[in-house]
Amino acid sequence: MADAARTHSERTKVLSSGAMKRTEAPRTNSRSYASRTEASGGPVQAAGRDQTGPKPTDTVTPSISEILAYQRDVLERSILFFDTMRRRANNMLEHERAGLPPLLNFKYETLLDARQFERPVNYALLRITEVGNDCWDDCVDLTKPPVIVIDPRAGHGPGIGGFKRDSEVGIALHTGHAVYYVVFFPEPCKGQTLGDVIKALGRFVADVKERHDGKTPVLYGNCQGGWAAALVAADCEERVGAAVLNGSPLSYWAGEPGINPMRIMGGFVGGVWLTHFLADLNQDRFDGAWLVQNFETLKPGNALFEKYANLFTKIDTEADRFLDFERWWNGFYRLSGEEIVSIVENLFIGNRLEEGKVTLDAHCDVDLRRIKAPLVIFASYGDNITPPHQALGWIPAVYKDTDDLKAAGQRIVYLTNPQVGHLGIFVSASVARFEHRAILENLAEIETLRPGLYEMKIDNPTGDPDCERHQYSVHFEPRKIEDIRFEYPSRAFERVRLASEFNEHLYRTFMSPWVRAMSNPWTASGLQWLHPMRTSRYVFSEAFVPWMLPFAVLADAVSRNRKALSDENPLIAQERRLISQIAAFWEATRKIRDAAQERTFTTMYGA
């Protein structure tokens, strides 16, 4: 494969040519487990990194008192750790019993419920009404365009864009924009399709525009919500303002070999038929737990070891953050069978969006060239789910060169972060307070740019994400489409698409009717409850395992008299080193696995 043969410097030649530059140090960090945010566990820092204590070459013999103190500390941390796991399981059960409501950290009111539309879908439009002690009137400047945040529907529930006060929602309100939020419900409406969802989002946009006297709203799409925002902008070209796409894949075959393995996964299962099969087993509903499990397999070391090691080593300070994030990460929603099959078939395996071949209904094919509102694309090189290749690679496919882009009257602005992980684009407080604030505070200038491609550069001499507006500057450097043209083995992926279409036709014709006939509510419920993503969490709840209950009493006693051991203890330093070595083993194993998958993919489908 040509991509696999290229050297590191050749793969990133475009970065050194002036567009999307990044330093060597951030690139190294983005590929390590020291990244603050990883796909499989959220904003966590690898345990054992940047710890004080003796170096591996030091030989320090601990005293008896230090050994005893360390044993006590390990026992106390173990009790608190298992109690935290118990609380996570209980939080998960409590959240499900409450109906999996959106985890927004803001007060809101429901404006439109799309379940009542003529073509019902499980979406709703919310208006953020209060921020702490400040009400809507205290925050909003009506001269500024409203912002509609669209969260990803990728297995989890809504709320990641407003998960914390220092978030996209909080920053948008802080900068004076009225904020509306698109949420969805755990269960899809019967027979809802991708086209129905996009039409419902279009009605939400029209409603917000009417509430603000015709002022076009800004669409803020996160991950899968980003391509949904692009579809809405293409379908409702006259009703939207700028669209901000954060970590959003639009070019699904692009990526670096061995770095972005998710793009080749469809080739190993024969395409979309397996997704269809899982939806049929669950009575035409696709369990989002399968999608979350896919994310965790990208970084198995983090999902199975590091985030728990980080919790164990920092149990006194990390427990609340861990529980807050896990409440969202383990809230699994479902999609309709027809909807998920259409998404996988047209986007992730078919890559039809950049080709203008995604059909929303019998009368409408999506053409990204129809988008006339400015596009702002925010991507990160620490993102192994949606790398810049997938966020930007569609542009050369839609516009043959820079002159073509200018002739179409379009303005596309992109900015990149050198190291933050996928979820950090939406979750990281520092990213929200800096990059997202810079985007929102410069929307008016973006609207006035001449047609073309630009890279957004933010100069912040203070290095403080909370700096005042006058302390940082933003400028837009013109770029050429040739600067963001990423090569990939398109013929191999076209063979995957053909194989997927063939297998799906066979399954839909001969197997699907039988699978649907054998499925019933009992089997569907059993498959959900027994899914590994649920059982691995539930097993720590006293509702399933009664002997977990004593940990609540023990943890309370430990917390009252807890005295954390200092990092000066030599055994603590040895523990951190051991954790670091285990993490390195997991990382090496992952790299070997990903390289083997790339070679197998090339063998199966050619270069």
**Residue 8: pLDDT above 60?**
no
Residue 7, classed as helix, strand or coil, is coil
Residue 136's pLDDT band, with cuts at 50, 70 and 90, is low
Give the whole-angstrom CA distance, residue 32 versus residue 12: 18
Compute the average pLDDT of residues 315-331: 94
Compute the average pLDDT of residues 372-395: 93
Identify the residue with better confidence: 279 or 459.
Answer: 279
**Residue 125: pLDDT above 90?**
yes
Amino acid 62: pLDDT: 84
State both tokens at 410: 């379009």
Percent of the chain with pLDDT strictly greater than 70: 88
Compute the average pLDDT of residues 483-512: 94
Compute the average pLDDT of residues 285-295: 95
Percent of the chain with pLDDT strictly greater than 90: 67
Range name among 3-7, 170-174, 244-248, 284-288 with the lowest pLDDT average: 3-7
With tokens 């063998």, the residue in question is 603
CATH code of the region 107-251+351-488: 3.40.50.1820
Identify the residue with better confidence: 169 or 322.
Answer: 322
**Residue 124: pLDDT above 70?**
yes
Amino acid 175: pLDDT: 86
**Residue 21: pLDDT above 90?**
no
Amino acid 132: pLDDT: 64
**Residue 382: pLDDT above 70?**
yes
Residue 35's pLDDT band, with cuts at 50, 70 and 90, is very low
Residue 52's pLDDT band, with cuts at 50, 70 and 90, is very low
Residue 133's pLDDT band, with cuts at 50, 70 and 90, is low
Q: Which of 152-156, 232-236, 409-413 has the highest mean pLDDT?
A: 409-413
Amino acid 237: pLDDT: 63
Amino acid 36: pLDDT: 37
Residue 105's pLDDT band, with cuts at 50, 70 and 90, is confident
Compute the average pLDDT of residues 372-390: 92
Compute the average pLDDT of residues 373-391: 93
Amino acid 238: pLDDT: 67
pTM of the model: 0.86
**Residue 38: pLDDT above 60?**
no
Give the whole-angstrom CA distance, residue 276 versus residue 499: 15
Range name among 223-227, 268-272, 429-433, 475-479 with the lowest pLDDT average: 429-433
Angle (CA) 205-433-241 rounded to 5° is: 20
**Residue 29: pLDDT above 70?**
no
184 close to 255: Cβ distance less than 8 angstroms: no
**Residue 434: pLDDT above 50?**
yes
Compute the average pLDDT of residues 172-197: 92
Residue 417, classed as helix, strand or coil, is strand
Range name among 70-74, 172-176, 392-396 with the lowest pLDDT average: 172-176
**Residue 56: pLDDT above 80?**
no
Backbone dihedral angles phi then psi of residue 305, each to the nearest 5 degrees = -130, -55
Range name among 179-193, 230-244, 415-429, 446-460 with the lowest pLDDT average: 230-244
Amino acid 358: pLDDT: 85
Amino acid 461: pLDDT: 72
**Residue 494: pLDDT above 60?**
yes
Residue 45's pLDDT band, with cuts at 50, 70 and 90, is very low
Which residue spans of the chain are classified as CATH 3.40.50.1820? 107-251+351-488
Compute the average pLDDT of residues 527-550: 95
Give the whole-angstrom CA distance, residue 26 versus residue 22: 7
Mean pLDDT of the chain, nearest integer: 87
Query: Which residues does 385 contact at the CB level (< 8 Å), separation at least 6?
Result: 39, 223, 247, 249, 260, 262, 295, 298, 422
**Residue 239: pLDDT above 80?**
no
Question: Rg of the chain's alpha carbons, rounded to an integer?
Answer: 25
Amino acid 466: pLDDT: 72
Query: Which residues does 4 contact at the CB level (< 8 Å), separation at least 6?
Result: 257, 258, 598, 599, 602
**Residue 332: pLDDT above 70?**
yes
Give the whole-angstrom CA distance, residue 441 versus residue 521: 50
Residue 180, classed as helix, strand or coil, is strand
Range name among 327-341, 433-447, 466-480, 564-578 with the lowest pLDDT average: 466-480
Residue 236, classed as helix, strand or coil, is coil
Amino acid 296: pLDDT: 95
